[in-house]
Every structure is written in C-alpha cells, then in structure tokens.
Structure 1
Amino acid sequence: MKNWTHSGSLNQEPSAREEKHRALARRAAAEGIVLLKNEGVLPLKTSAPVALFGSGAEKTVKGGIGSGDVNNRENISVYKGIKEAGASVTNEDWIRDYDKRYKEAREEWKEKILEDARHVQNPFDAYAANPFVLPDGRRITEQDLRGAGAAVYVISRISGEGKDRRLEEGDYYLSVREREDLLYLDRFQIPLILILNSGGPVELTDILQETENIGAVLNISQPGQEGGRAAADVLFGRAVPEGKLTATWARRYEDHPFPDTYSYLNGDLEKEVYREGIYVGYRYFDSFGVRPLWSFGYGLSYTSFRLELCGLKQEQSSVRAEISVTNTGKRYAGREVVQVYVSLPHSGIEKERRRLAGFAKTERLAPGESGKVKIEIPQKQLAVFSQERQAWITEAGTYGVWIGNSLDSAVLSAYLTVARETVIEETHRICPLEEPFEELSRGEAGDREKEKKETGIPVCEFVPCREPEIKNVQPAEEQYPVEELIPLLYGNITAGASTLGSAGIRVPGSAGETTEALEEKYRIRSLIMADGPAGLRLRQSYQVDRETDSVYGTGVLGSLENGFLEPMEIHENADTYYQYCTAFPTGTALAQTWDTELLAEFGRAVAEEMREFHVDLWLAPGMNIQRNPLCGRNFEYFSEDPFLSGTLASAVTRGVQEHTGCGVTIKHFACNNQEDNRMGVDSCVSERALREIYLRGFEIAVKESAPAAIMSSYNLINGVHAANSRDLCTVAAREEWGFKGVIMSDWNTTVPEDGSIPWKCAAAGNDIIMPGNRRDDADIRRAYERGELSEKQIRECAGRILALVKKLNEETQK
C-alpha cells in the first residue's frame, strides 16, 4: 500500500492535463453536434455580424444537475465562442442585460433552496425538487438586429437527478417568451438559426410550421465546458457536422406510446407499467407507421455521401458487411456514420419492424474520395427472446439488411436466409410479473409484412450457432473470520454524512469509499469512488489544516454548483488544494458522435484524471434506456437503443480500464427510466422487454469489456428492489453473462422504510451497500445470527470485493 497524499494541487494555474482535456472536450462536443435542418444557411461567415439571443446564449448549459454534474474551472458560452471565432455580435446590450437578470434569478433560487433545505432530512432533496429555471431576457428590439446578417437563438433547458422534466411551457414546450421572440425575429426576413441546448427534445413542430426563416437547427445537446467553442466551430464551418440522433424526436409528445401514463402523468408514482413492451423509441415509430420530426440516427452534414453495400460474409457467429462510402460533395471533407438495420421474419414471435444491428464511422473523406467500412452484425441482433421457451432464438426465414445514414434513409440492400430455427442461448426465468398486463401488439399489421419481398436483392445464407457457455467461478474469501468481513458489505460509515457529495473523506467531494475497517489489521485499503458520467465530480477546492493535516469538510449543498449554494469557509491556518476536473459532453452528446474510438479516448482521459485525484472507481457510464423524453436524467444516458448503448459503454469502459488501477461502474441496473419517486417506483415489465431492451445494453458491456463494477438501481422491478434481486445480480449478471466484478447499490437505497433490505442485498449478490450506515451493519449481523444470511453468501460478496481491491491495488503499484 502507498502512503496517502492529499488529492489535487496547491497550484491554481491550469495544468498541461487540463489544456489537453479541454481540447478533447471541444472536439468531442463538436463531433456530437447534430445538424437537424439547413436550408443553405450554414456555415456562416465570420465577416457577417450576428444577433444572438436566448437563455443559453451567454449562459450555455454544459450538463445536467445532481451527481452527473462536474465542478470544473470554466464554461465557454455560445456567445464567447462566437466572439473568439472573430464574428461581431450586434446586441451586446441585450447580452449584458441578460447577465444581470441571470444573477438576480440565481440569488432568488439560492434563497429558496436554502429555505427548503431547512425542512427536509436530506438537503439534496430540496435541490433536486427545484431545478434552476433560466430567466427570460428582455424583449428583443429592432435596434438589437441592426446590421445583423443572421440571428442565432439558443434554447436551453436544465434537468437532472431526482425530478423528471415537465410537459409544460419552458420545459418540453417552448416558453411563451421563446415563442414570441422567434415569431418576432421571423418578421425581419434574415436567416434564423435555432440552437438546442437541452438534455432531451424540445417540441418544435408548431414553430417550424409557423415561421418562414428558421433556416437551420443545431442540436448541441449539453456539450460540456467547451460547448460554446464547439458550437462556433460548427456555425462557422471550422468543423463539419457529423453527429446523429440517438433518440427519436417526435412531432408531438402524444406520438409516443402511452404518453399519458409516464411517471407523474399517470397520477400513480408507485407503479410504472411498461405496456409498450419491446416497442420503445424508434421500434414503436417505425413499427406503427408514426412519422417523427427527426428519426433515430438522423443528422445532416455540410457535404453528402453515397453508400453502397459491397458484400456480406458470415464470420462464425456474426455477419460482416462491407460498405463503400463516397463523399459526393464538392467543397467540404467530412465523416459519415454508416448504420445497418435488420428486419426479422414476421412469422413466429411478434417483432418490431427493424432494429439497429451494426454501425461504423468513416475516416474523414475529401470531396470525391471513397473509403470502406466493415460492420459486424452479431447473431444475437438477429435473435428474439422467447419467454415460454426461456431461450434466445434465431428463427428460420428471411432477414432484411438495410443500409443508410439514418433509420428513415436506410435502404433494403440484401437478404440473409436462415434455413432452420436455432436456439443460440438458454436462460433462466427472472423477474416474473406479479400481475400480468396486456402489452402493445402490432397484430395483423405485423403479419402482413411477411408477404413483402423485393427482387434483385443479393442473398446470403447464415447459419446461427450456440453462444459460448459461461463458466463463472465466484471467489469466496476463506482466510478471514466471517464477522470481520461484514464491514466490506457496506460503505465506509466512518466518513460521516451519507448523503450525496459528502460520503467520501479521503478525496473531498468523492461519492464514497469502501470500508477502512480492514486496513490497519490486514492492510486492505478502501476503494474511492467518484461520480460521473460527464467527468469526475469532486469538490473544486478544499482546505487542509496545516497543524492537524485534516480536511475541512462541507455538506451536501457545498459540494454542488461549485459551492454557489454554500461557499467554502476560508481558514487562515490552512492550505487550499484545487481539483479542476474536466466537464466533458454529457452521455447523450457523446453518444451522438457514434464514434467508438472517440469514446474510448474519452475513457482514457477520465482515467488520467482518476489517477491524478486518487479515484479507483468511476460511477459511470450511465446506460439506462431513454424510454421517454421526459426522464430527468436522460442527458446522462446514451440512447433509446440497447445495442448502441451497450457498444458505446463498452468503448468507454475499455478506455478507462486501459489505465492501471482504474475501474468503471456501469449503471443503473436496471429500469431506472424515471426520476420522480425513483427510490420507490415499481417498474412492471415483461421478461422479454426486460431482456431485449433494458438488460441488453448491460449484457453487451459486461461481455465485451468486463467492467469492474455495476451499480444497481433504486427502483423495484416487478415488486423486488433491484439491489435485493438475486435474479438480476446473480442469475442474469453472473451466471448467464459471466460478470466477475462487484455490484454495489445506488446511494442510500436502504434508508427509506420501504427501501432495499440490507441483508437481502448481500443475499442477492449486491455486494456493497453505498454509502453505508450503522443500520446496514446491524441488519446484516442480525440476519447472519438468525441464519437468514449464510456464511457462504457473506464470503462470496466479500471475496469479490477483496479481489477487486487486490486487482486495482496491484495495478496501481506497477
């Protein structure tokens, strides 16, 4: 074990690492920007002045709030990015006035949070219940537009942990002022560019129909600390757009399946019934013929590309597609995302119309230049899950292979034929429904599709095979007395307050630690965990007493918003340490790059900061399915599609874990698809939908990249808390997928009276309860004494934790 040193630096100046990661954050943000509309308006010329408006113009939102926030050094706004690019802004007075209004609104919000925090047990609840709402700016005048060649309007939204977005003006819908502003700007007959700075969709259908001059729409999502520079790079053509949507943007919220029953809208936050079954996101829109505003995988460029399928070839348990891509434009070099979808036989088990089966991003191609990509289609993307037979099955019949740069543009390009049905994997029955319900069905519409057949399409035979058997021996620690192993089953309760942002003690602002109880006697150190997934969430700065060498702590509010709500108290006889982490783009923004190499590079950058700040486990990536656009935490997650989510999470995991001593914690396992009553809602979902949609991404990540840890979710699944579910933690993750790492709970899952039961966490295979409290210890010991929790179960959980401590410690020592 190494001697401990304080994390961070006494030097407040930007480090070389900060500058390097700043450049990566900018590049990643630009690559994830999606050009949704462009009628010859973009790119702009820096020589033409622009008028800039909207709540996010000078206060661009870098990311969401809560544990997914990052306390970074500086955020670059769209305004600053445009000015640095060399363009002039005609309405500087409007920008200055907005800054004043913003500061006043922040102070009012701060007072409300501090007052509400006095009346709740956990101050974070007051914070989560009252997300800051960006104020309106003053009304736009003709003077603001004088000399402008174009107007740019930034629509921003803030959302986060603990509360879902609202189906209200100023959130999912445009605010009254935003609508008035856009209609007013439209009157001036100059190009109008909308920039969407939100973690999820904002409904634009009406305003696009009612205006004539909205010539371009850019979705920058929540692009991290360098978002303003990245936006300017795209606006002025220094970067060519290459992002693609990872979720369907509906014309109307009501176009989603069962729109009135999501989260708080159904009036019952105790139970959420997943009646749509497998028809989530584009699977619903595509299967039921509901036309979206912008489809899954959609995104424009400043150039154009031609895609041609060169051939298909079977490679053991997969199909390899080779596709030629040509830049058919005349001016701009660019990159294209090639997407492969498959349509399955519509006999037998009912299925969605098409599903994503593979993708690849090209190298940068100059005008007229061609290149080839090879895309692997795993056989499991051709399979369906049968609840009745408890198996993944590749059915006999004809499979369509669709090639395109979005779902809607994909063209039927080849057929795969499977001569006979093959069971590729047998499973165990998990998470049975307490009360059956009727799931959405295509009925006769799905049956009719089996009769459609194109002629002149290449045909390739495919022979499925059994997936490899999983052999997973779980370590059971035998050399220590079982009573001394019990503290491993919960977090380091000596750290004090077990609330968000204050559970870690060795690294200020870290999320928590495993126990120190075995350190003095057995030299088994604690593992330090930090939140994510847009970077490390630590305190930006902290103080250490020079005489005692002890850290001055802070509460929950002090760890949020860079200390705005509760500023750090300054002590005279103390040294100040600085922990400037990088705020990278959020999960959705990164996913919109569809670039696995970039996400691996992002992972390596995070790992570099983990090593710098003594962090062992990063509580990321987040990979829950974007089931509904109102989920308050969608910005942390990759997509509505499990294959894309799992593939990207695997890339991030590989990047992080290439660095010795660093591990990821994929989360939240599983069905954490809403934030309202997230600790008590019962997600009622069929086993087929659970396996094909909500577990599939986790399965891919486990099998492809072996993450160090998994975090179980707060919610129940079919009546059982995820952290108490042996079906999830042991049967699915370990016995079926071969997961060898540690499973931990989300923070304080055992605190509510109706929350997870501590001893049942260990019995289920949820190894660690985080951040840990004395009631967890007492409950586990009572269960052991009563024989409800066996010695074998304790030793298995402890064995996995000790194996991870040993692994990360040995890697760090190298």
Structure 2
Amino acid sequence: MTHARTYSGTLIQEPSLREQEHSRLARRAAAEGIVLLKNTGTLPLDLSAPVALFGAGASRTVKGGIGSGDVNNRSNVSIYQGLKDAGLRLTSEGWIEDYEARYHAARAAWKQKVLEAAKQVDNPFDAYSANPFVLPQGRPIVPQDVQGAAAVVYVLSRIAGEGKDRRLEKGDYYLSDSEWNDLRTLDRLGLPIVLLLNAGGPVELTDLLDVAVHIEAVLQLSQLGQEGGHAVADVLLGKTTPEGKLTATWARRYTDYPCAERFSYLDGDLEKAVYQEGIYVGYRYFDSFGVQPLFPFGYGLSYTDFSLRFAGLRVGSDAIEVDVETENAGICFSGREVVQVYISCPQNGGAKELRRLAGFAKTRLLAPEECQTLTIRIPQKQLAAFAPQKQGWVVEQGLYGVWVGNSSASVTLCAQIRVDAETLIERTHPICPLDHSLDELGAANAAQKEASHPAGLPVYGFCPQPQSLPERPAAPLAEGPVEELIPLLYGNITKGTSTLGSAGVRVPGSAGESTEELEASHGVPSLIMADGPAGLRLRQSYQVDRASGRVYGVGVLGSLENGYLETPPQHDNADTYYQFCTAFPVGTALAQTWDTALMEEFGRAIAREMEEFGVDLWLAPGMNIQRNPLCGRNFEYYAEDPFLSGTLAAAVTCGVQQSGRCGVTIKHFACNNQEDNRMGVDVQISQRALREIYLRGFEIAVKTAAPAAIMSSYNRINGVYASNSRDLCTVLARQEWGFDGVIMSDWNTTVPDDGSTPWKCAAAGNDIIMPGNPDDDADIRSAYAGGSLSEEDIRTCAGRVMALAKKLRG
C-alpha cells in the first residue's frame, strides 16, 4: 500500500557523503577547541616512542553531556582508538582491556538502577537525570603497565547534564581517591605525564599540580564530540598546533569563586538564588579583587610563541578599531593566536570591574616569523555601564584604558581613550524589579580599584553617540475566530509527551512541534523542533509499518542513550529509517576556539542536517553565563563573559539561518544558571547585573543576527517566571531589542502547581507553550472567557507563530 506521507531519514544504513564531510568538520573543530594549559616540552609526542594510556576516559571518552544536549550519532572515537589509528604503540593494553570489563559491568548495574527508579516517578526522565552514570575507576596501575613507555597519557573524565548540578565531591569537582592514587603512582615512576581533562567544566587540580612534579603537560579537552579521539591524537602528535583558549576562569580553590558557598544546593535553599556578586562574575571578580586563578580567562598555550604589537587605533562615530600586529615568533611550528582587547573604565566610586573583554580576533595559520595585522572592532556599548538611576546605558566621562594581550591576565596597556562628557547612549525601561534591597559586592570590596595609566601613552578622543531603539514592523494580528487561533499558543499535543525526546511525531525523536490543527483550515504548517546544541538530537532509527504507514514510537527511556535503557522492539513487515546526525563538540569546546568563522561554518552544517531531516527550529545555541563551575549544564554554554557568548552565538545563528529555511532558538532566557530545582528557583538579582551580565549576550545575538526564536527559561526572576514575564518577553526583547521572532517556553514549564501559568505566557508575549498539553488549552480558554487574557494578546502571539511558519516553510 502506498502512503502519501513522507518520512525523515533514509532507508540506507551506510554512512552518507554528508556524514563523512561533517565528521571531518567535527574533527577539525574539536582539535581547534583543545586548550593547552601547561607544557614543559613533552608535547608534541614522538610517534615512534611508545606511550602508556590510562584513565576512565581513555577507552570511554565522554563525547558530550547527557539530557537534551546529547546527540544520538552513529559512533564515537575514543582517545584510545584515536591514538591507535594514528599508529602510536601503547604499553597499557592489559589495563585498557580490564577497564572495558569494569565499564560494561558498571553500565549494566546503572541501567537496573535507573529502571527501578523510573517505576517510582511519573516522568522516567526524572529518574534518568537524578541518577547520572558515573564512569568506574580502573584497577590500580602497576609498573608493568608502563614498561617500555616514553611517556604517560592520563584521561580524567566527568559526566554531567540536564536536571542536576555537579557535586562538590570527590569524583566530580574534586579528584577521586583512585585518580589521586593513580597519578601519584605514575609521578613516582618518573615518566613525563600528559594529563587530559575530558570534562564539561573545571576539576580542581591545584594540590595535584603542586606535588606531582612529572605532570609536564595539561590539556583541557572539554567534551569533543564523535571525533574527539582523532582530534586529541592530532594535537598530541603535533599534526595540529593547539590554539584553544579558556572561556571561563579556573580557580585554584572552589572557594575562590564569588559567593561560591551559596550556589545551588550548597546553602540548603533551592527556592532562591541570590546573585550577591552582582557584576563580578568570572574574571571580572578575579581581576578586580586580586584573586589569583589557576588558569585565567582567555588563556591557552601553543607549540609556538607569538608576539603582539599595538599598531594603531581609529575612532569612529559609534565604535573604535584597534590594529594589532601579530607575529609567530617561533622557529618550528605554524599556529594561530587569539588577540584579545580589554577595556578598563574610569572608577568613579560605583562598582566597576577592573577590565572587561571588548573585542577579539583570531589570526590565520601563521608560519614561523610570519605576521598578520588584525583589526578588532570595539562597539561603543562595550565602554558603557548600565545606570539604574538614569534607566539607561551610560558612557562615563574620563579615561579608558585599551589593553591588548592573549588572556585576561596577560595584557598590556597600549592606549587611552578620553571621553569628555558623560553620555546616555541608550534609554531603557524598568524591568524585573526587586521588591527588596540586595547587598551586592561593590567598589568598596574590590582589592584593585583602578588600573594605573602611565604617562606617554597615546590618547584618543571619543564622543559617544546616543542610539535610538531599533525598529521592527509589528507582527501581524492573526485573523479568524479567536477561539480557532488558541491552539497556536501551545505545541502539538501528543500522547506520551515528556520533557525529552517523545514529543515529536513527524520527525521521530525531535523535541516537539507547533500545532498542526490549523494546517488544513488556515494553511499554517507545524514547525518541527530538535534539540541541540552539539548537533541535532533525533532518534538514530525508527520503524514504519508497511501496511498502515504508522511510525512505531518509543517511550522516554527508549529515546535516551541510543536505546540502551529500553531497547525498542523490532517489528515484522516494517521499514527501518535511519537518522544519523553528527555529534559535534559541546558548546564550551566550540567556544574555546574563539573562531567566529568556524562557528558560522558549524551553523551551516547544522542547517544542512536540519534540511535533510525536515527540522525547522534548532533548540540552540545555549548561551547562559557560566556563573559557577558546578552548573550541571555548563558544557552546553559558551562562556562566563557575555560579549564572547553573544558574539559566538550570533555567528552560529548567521550560519544556521543563512538559507532562510532554518531557524535557531537561543536559550534559556534568562538566568538559567543552575539545574537543581531549575523549574522553581527564584533568581534574585539587581537590574544592573541582569542587564550587564545575563542579558547582554542575548542582546548581542538578537541585534546582530536576528534569531528566529528565543526559548524562555524555567526559573523565576525576582519572583516572576521567565515565561510569564512581560518585562522580558515584550518590553525587553521586542520593544528595546527589536526582536520580531517567536518566543517559546522550555518544555513542560506549565506543569500544574509546579510552574508558570499558561494564560500568563500569552499575556507576557511568550507565544508558544511547549510541548503542549490539554491543561494549557483549558487554562487559556478560561482566562480569555473571564477577561484576564485579551483578544489582542491571542491574535498577536498567533500572528507571530503564523509569520514564522510562513517564513520558514513558505
């Protein structure tokens, strides 16, 4: 029997040309994002010299985080496989073989634990997220394991993901006893040790590095996707020169982070999160308070050396351009450098960071003694501070320092900018008010109040220009009976809807769809949405009954871990369709490239897969600020710095949306900086910190790249759920930033008695509630009938959804 419906994917199981091309891109991106933190000369390794390989991540390298940020790709290359494929001889094959047996036993025990826990909860995903798999430790290392080796490679791995924050415990933020014993044993054996950090965020290394004298190289891999093992081999063996830079500060001690003891579960109160550090996040805190980090923001070594020379500055009407001549000063290796420009602002008595990132650029591949002059543009808003008392962004009067370097801690003051008069460059509206005072860190707390400006530096005058709010055409009001438009305000209601992987119907494994109820009557197609941000998250394969054309579904557990927890049954008289997507490096690893051209290329690759599988909206990039290293979802996010985060997200957005047929959904808007109680926590924050740190990246992405959609976060901000906040969804995003796309909720945010109110989403300008359930419909209709929700609000939200469907689906 012939069915009119078409199905996503292909009946061909063999790797496609697209898979092969994207695998090569994933490998290149992974290698570019690796950060060399220490090297005393051990690297690169000699291919002819045997190596001993150990650690939980050696043969079971973690490709990415768990939850909606996972990708069900075809296969992954471990570091063990990557080194073997490169031709490196390993002396520790016996240790690896023993570890594999331990790994499979641990996976089987974990599976049973999750299945038992799933019987006790309504949503099986809650059992999965509450019980993350922990890589087992290997057997103790003995001298025979390293016999004949010239060096040791040790892979320290961590798994984290959606729904649970990392723990301040051994085996997570701290080294486990087994890891500590392994590395101390190896140190005593006297061979050079190369330590590889296969984790989505920092692991505290200070004590280890203080005592283990033979750890001669340290590399932060993050989680590198499906080609991670090959990328690591490329770097370790010198095929590729490391060029990544950290996008978050690594502290010597966890307690060195601002307000560290109050993060998430640590203070025993998950109902509220008080952002007492204010604007002092990441390097802004470490620099301003004189706290020495282990590895600073923007830091990363190479196999070669670079020299930077300030080559001039030009002042425009609303921006400043800085020229920096960059030379590869080495004699052996070609490489690339990231030139970073920071601005120090006048210290006029209020809270002000010592320096802030104002611009950056990356060189092309430079041969030894080759030079390139980079021009780095600094928008005038990077000189501004938000002034709540003036309700706007202000460039203050005084001298601004221009600092050039290759990390936040390695910069040179090269020039000064003089502003003769304070200028209000942008007026804003009051948003998200606090109903009580907040005792934030301020200027009086800072150890360093102002950077010195020595005499003899060039001084350039700059006159900031007031900017008007951007203009966008108003969304057309949807026509027709208002009661018929209400289904556009929530997703396509399906049986078995969950927080992960079972809400999509037309593309199996997709996260969800907008409604299909108006397709026949109004010609409004449903929009297919798939998770990210390391690639598309779809089911690897699915079956279709030949007689009826029905797609056989799977439950929540079947959609996780490529079906490991619950293997989907195989059906007779059915066709199998394959949807092999690419697992690219996680968001942090991509961001560590500091390469906007690569990020745009990555975006184009995502769009190619979206078009292949029929996906309209990619639920990424994730761009929340890495406020604290214990956030369980930091691996999805780019940086602790909003300018870097927004600039990289804009590049990805431009790549995805280049063809006009695909859209991104930047998320989670806003202040989703912890996972424990993410659906209920109330973030208490000043308007200044909110705007300068947590909203600024979103603002940059919206204004420079016009993303198709925004996803609101689960949490409350100063008492109001983000999806119910008209201040965020309408006043800020649309009136101030000119956003003209669709805003959707995070999945199941309107769970009764445990989240936001459905009709208030529409009233706020949160156009679609995802993934949609009957309670949403009943609540909206009741509010409309009772007069709480206006007809105009319904028509406005529906009109934006219809406009986006027309834009993407024609």
TM-score, length-scaled by structure 2: 0.99
Deviation digits for residues 705-737 of structure 1, max 9, x if unmatched?
A: 000000000000000000000000000000000
- State the partner residue of 2:421: 420
- TM alignment of 1:579-658, pairs within 5 A: 579-658=579-658
Aligned to 1:693: 693
Amino acid at match of 1:179: W
- Asked if the contact 1:253/1:259 (under 8 Å) is kept, the reply is yes
SS at structure 1 position matched to 2:189: coil
Q: Could you list the per-position Cα deviations for residues 587-610 of structure 1 after superposition, in whole angstroms to 9, with x for gaps in the alignment?
A: 000000000000000000000000
- What is the Cα deviation at residue 363 of structure 1? 0.6
What SS does the aligned partner of 2:562 have?
helix
Distance in 2, matches of 1:349 and 1:483, equals 52
User: Residues 90 and 620 from structure 1, CA distance in 2 versus in 1: closer, same or farther, beyond 3 angstroms?
Assistant: same
- Alignment-derived partner of residue 746 in structure 2: 746
Equivalent-residue separation in structure 1 for 2:633 and 2:538 (angstroms): 19
What's the CA shift for 1:500? Answer: 1.2
Q: Is the 8 A contact 1:665 1:711 kept in 2?
A: yes
Q: Shift of the alpha carbon at 1:21?
A: 0.2
Residue aligned with 1:440, SS: coil
Measure the CA separation in 1 of the matches of 2:445 and 2:118: 55
Shift of the 588–444 alpha-carbon distance from structure 1 to 2, 3 Å rule, reads closer
* 2:51 matches 1:28: no
Q: Is the 8 A contact 1:278 1:689 kept in 2?
A: yes
Q: Contact between 2:709 and 2:743, CA under 8 Å: does it hold in 1?
A: yes
2:362 is equivalent to residue 365 of structure 1 = no
Summarize deviations over 1:497-536 as a string: whole Å, max 9, x none.
Answer: 2431100000000000000110122221100000000000
- Report the residue type matching 2:164 in the other structure: K
Give 1:475 shift.
Answer: 1.6
Which position in structure 2 is the counterpart of 1:526?
Answer: 526
Aligned: 1:124 with 2:118 = no
- SS of the residue corresponding to residue 731 of structure 1 reads helix
2:331 maps to 330
Structure 1 position 483, deviation (Å): 0.7
Equivalent residue for 2:664?
A: 664
Match of 2:136 in 1: 135
**Aligned 8 A contact 1:222 1:589 in 2:** yes
Q: Give me the CA root mean square deviation.
A: 1.1
Q: Which amino acid in 2 is paired with 1:394?
A: V
Contact 1:498 1:773 in 2 (8 A): no
* CA displacement, residues 756-813 of structure 1 (integer Å, 9 cap, x when unaligned): 0000000000000000000000000000001110000000000100000000012xxx
Separation in structure 1 between the aligned mates of residue 191 and residue 113 of structure 2, nearest angstrom: 41
Q: Is the 8 A contact 1:30 1:231 kept in 2?
A: yes
- Give the 3-state SS of the residue equivalent to 2:544 in structure 1: strand
| Residues 84-140 of structure 1: per-residue CA shift (max 9 Å, x gap) | 111100010111111110000000000000000010010000000011000010111
Q: How many pairs are equivalent?
A: 808
State the alpha-carbon separation in 1 of the partners of residues 495 and 581 from structure 2.
23
Unaligned runs of 5+ in 1: none
8 A contact 2:333–2:368 mirrored in 1? yes
- The aligned counterpart of 1:265 is 266
Could you tell me whether the CA contact under 8 Å between 2:479 and 2:795 is conserved in 1? no
The answer on 1:349 being equivalent to 2:321 is no
Q: How does 1:516-555 map to 2 (within 5 A)?
A: 516-555=516-555
Matched, 1:674 2:687: no
1:506 paired with 2:499, answer no
Aligned to 1:297: 298
The answer to whether structure 1 residue 393 and structure 2 residue 394 are counterparts is yes
Please give the alpha-carbon distance, in whole angstroms, between the structure 2 residues aligned to 1:692 and 1:257. 17
Does residue 1:196 correspond to 2:197, yes or no? yes
Provide the residue aligned with 1:408 in structure 2. 409
String of CA shifts for 1:310-348, please: whole Å, max 9, x gaps. 111012210001110000000000000000000000015
1:504/1:512 contact within 8 Å kept:
yes
- Name the CA shift for 1:402/1:505 in 2 (closer, same or farther; >3 Å): same
Structure-2 separation of matches of 1:544 and 1:583: 25
Question: Is the contact made by 1:498 and 1:772 (CA closer than 8 Å) also made in structure 2?
Answer: no
Q: How does 1:37-436 map to 2 (within 5 A)?
A: 37-436=38-437
Q: Does the CA-based 8 Å contact 1:346-1:446 persist in structure 2?
A: no
Displacement of 1:752:
4.2
Report matched runs for 1:455-474 at 5 Å.
Answer: 455-474=455-474
Once the two structures are superposed, what CA deviation does each residue of 1:654-694 show, in whole Å capped at 9, x if it has no partner?
A: 00001231000000000000000000000000000000000
Query: Per-residue CA shift, 1:367-394, capped at 9, x if unaligned?
Result: 0010111100010000000111101000
1:562 is paired with a residue whose SS is helix
SS of the residue aligned with 2:145?
A: helix
Q: One-letter code of the match for 2:476?
A: A
How far apart are residue 446 of structure 1 and its match? 6.9
Alpha-carbon contact 1:350-1:446 (below 8 Å) kept: no
Partner SS for 1:152:
strand
Kept in 1, the 8 Å contact 2:586–2:635? The answer is yes
Contact 2:528 2:616 in 1 (8 A): yes
* 1:11 aligned partner: 12
CA contact (8 A) 1:384 1:393 kept: yes
1:391 maps to a residue whose letter is G
Cα distance in 2 for residues equivalent to 1:13 and 1:495: 32
Does the 8 A contact of 2:478 with 2:802 survive in 1?
Answer: no
How many angstroms does 1:444 deviate by?
A: 7.0
TM-score scaled to structure 1, two decimals? Answer: 0.98
Q: Which amino acid aligns with 2:367?
A: A
Aligned in 2, Cα 1:448/1:784: closer, same or farther, shift over 3 Å?
A: closer
8 Å Cα contact 2:63-2:585 kept in structure 1: yes
SS in 1 for 2:400: strand
Alpha-carbon contact 1:346-1:447 (below 8 Å) kept: no
Instruction: Judge conservation of contact 1:347–1:447 (CA < 8 Å) in 2.
Output: no
How far residue 564 of structure 1 moved from its aligned partner, in angstroms, is 0.3
- The amino acid across from 1:645 in the alignment is S
CA distance in 2, matches of 1:743, 1:36: 40
How far is the alpha carbon of 1:349 from its aligned partner? 3.5
Letter matched to residue 655 of structure 1 = G
CA deviations 1:421-474 (Å, max 9, x no partner) are 100000000000122120011317578527x33112111111100123322332
Structure 2 Cα separation of the partners of residues 650 and 662 of structure 1: 15
Distance 1:3 1:678 in 2: 42
**CA shift at 1:495, angstroms?**
5.4
Find the counterpart in structure 2 of residue 491 from structure 1: 491
Q: Residue 613 of structure 1 aligns to which amino acid in structure 2?
A: F
| Counterpart residue type for residue 288 of structure 1 | F
Could you tell me which amino acid in structure 1 is paired with residue 569 of structure 2?
Answer: E
Alpha carbons of 1:511 and 1:193: their partners in 2 closer, same or farther (altered >3 Å)? Answer: same
SS at match of 2:701: helix
Q: Please state how far the C-alpha of 1:187 moved relative to its aligned partner.
A: 1.0
Partner of 2:560: 560
Q: Distance in 2 between matches of 1:478 and 1:100?
A: 60
- Per the alignment, do residues 265 and 478 of structure 1 end up closer, same or farther by CA in structure 2, a change over 3 Å counting? closer
Map Cα deviations across residues 16-63 of structure 1 (whole Å, 9 max, x no partner).
000000000000000000000000010001100000000000000000
The 3-state SS of whatever aligns with 2:223 is coil
Inter-partner Cα distance in structure 2 for 1:588 and 1:511: 22
Identity of matched residues, %:
67
Q: CA deviation at 1:645?
A: 0.2
Change (3 A) 1:153 1:446: closer
CA distance in 1, matches of 2:282, 2:785: 48
Q: Could you tell me whether the CA contact under 8 Å between 2:401 and 2:453 is conserved in 1?
A: no
Aligned equivalents of 1:656 and 1:421: distance in 2? 39
Given that 1:608 and 1:659 are in contact with CA atoms closer than 8 Å, whether structure 2 keeps it comes out as: no
Does the aligned pair in 2 maintain the 1:66–1:160 contact within 8 Å? yes
Q: Is the 8 A contact 1:476 1:792 kept in 2?
A: no
In 1: Cα distance, 2:554 partner to 2:115 partner: 15
